[in-house]
Structures are given as C-alpha cells and as structure tokens.
Amino acid sequence: MPADSDLPALPRTWRPLGPRIAGGVAGGALLGVTALLWVGLDQDVRDSVTPFQRGTVIAMFLLGFSCLYALARSRVVAHPDGLQVVNGYRRHDYVWAEIVAVRLNPGAPWVTLDLADGTTASVMAVQSSDGPRAKQAVRQLRALVDRAHAPGD
C-alpha cells in the first residue's frame, strides 16, 4: 500500500514545467524576432511585400504558436473515478480499472500508462526533463493506481 504522503487530494492536476516555460519563451521570441525584422526593413522593401506574402508569414507564425501552445497545454488530471490526459489537442479519459501501471523509463521523455487492454498511453504532462517534479508526480500517480486496485475498493 502506498504511503499516505504520496496520495494527493483529488482532483489533482499535473502540468509540465519545462515545456510551458520553453513555449512561452519561444513564442515571445518568435513574435519579437518577427516584429524586429519587419521594423528593420526599409520602407521600400516593406511596400514591395504582397498581401499573400504577409499572409504566409502570419500563417507560419500561427502554426508555430499553435504547436508551442499544444505542448504547453498538456496536463493530466486525477479525479476520484479516473484520469483525464490531455496531450496537445487530444483528450483521453481513463477509469482507474483501465490503468495497470505508471512508468517513467530511463531515457523516456514522458510518462506512459500501461493499460488493461495491453496498450500504452503517453502522458506528456509529466516530462522526465522536469526532474524531481516528474519523480514526485510518478509516485503520486502510482499511489493512486495502487489505491484504486487495492482489495476492498
């Protein structure tokens, strides 16, 4: 049985720290560099840029920002009845009975869930690059899975 200190109060949300910081910094840098490049161009060069070219630059900026935002919005939420996993723009809900194990293998970028049907599911919200935060999250998730599978529950 897990130690009581590893059991978090529910609902509990885990989010990646590193990707959220990197997404914010990279998004700000992308916006800043684009703005500085535009301001740094001569007026005659700016006048020669067609609306299609401007639209292409804006579309590329939005595509890059949407990728960074998808990484930063990843999360896993533990509820009394199961886990809600959000990876990018996809959401998956698992009841506790579906989750067999929580793993963070050496060298793996993020946590994986072993599921009862023999498949695995990635949990991008708990990233190994977060170090001690990730290890604590894995302990807490394992404790919740162990509690859900304990006899009498």
- pLDDT of 153 reads 56
Q: Rounded to an integer, what distance in angstroms lies between the CA atom of residue 111 and that of residue 43?
A: 51
Which tens digit of pLDDT belongs to each residue from 47-101?
999 999 999 988 988 898 888 888 888 999 999 999 999 999 999 999 999 999 9
Q: Where are the domains of the chain?
A: 4-15+74-149, 19-71
Q: What is the pTM of this model?
A: 0.80
Q: What is the mean pLDDT of residues 12-32?
A: 89
What is 4-15+74-149's CATH number, 1.10.150, 2.30.29, 2.30.30, 1.10.3470?
Answer: 2.30.29
Least Cα distance to 73 among 60, 57, 84 occurs for 84
